[in-house]
Amino acid sequence: MEQAILAGNKGHEGFALLYLDCDRFKQVNDNLGHGIGDEVLIAVARRVQHQLRPLDLVCRLGGDEFVILLTPIQGEDEVREVIGRVQQAMNTPVVLSDGRHLGVGISIGSARYPEQGRTADALLQWADDAMYQAKRQRREERETRKTSM
């Protein structure tokens, strides 16, 4: 990310940072075991990687959190397009090694350089905050659907 920031400071094209979190992943580990949790993380990483462009990069930050560096980007529409592809890829349940199918929800937040930050820490914080906002919104939408049934 530091190299992308240096390139941005030299007038090259901007980039975006996506912060991805697997929804309710602790329940997967607690109820199905860490082996299944590892399978889910590998499946998520592969699906994300397949939706990215050649210069983009995905890294596991820790636990069930991933950071995706989109570089270069032209604007917010391009960021939304990649987020949409990643979300679409997760609509199909993960097939586990024992043959079971497991739906995996994700929440994604984004930050664009330089609009939402000029340092790695500032961009990570912005994207993390945006991810938690997306997670809250998904939770509220689920609750609204439950109460309207």
DSSP state, residue 99:
S
Q: Cα–chain-centroid distance for residue 69?
A: 10
Calpha distance 28→93 (Å, rounded): 14
Cβ atoms of residues 58 and 45 within 8 Å: yes
Cβ atoms of residues 109 and 129 within 8 Å: yes
Q: Which of 21, 23, 56, 64 is catalytic?
A: 64
Active site residue 64: yes
Q: Which residues are catalytic?
A: 64
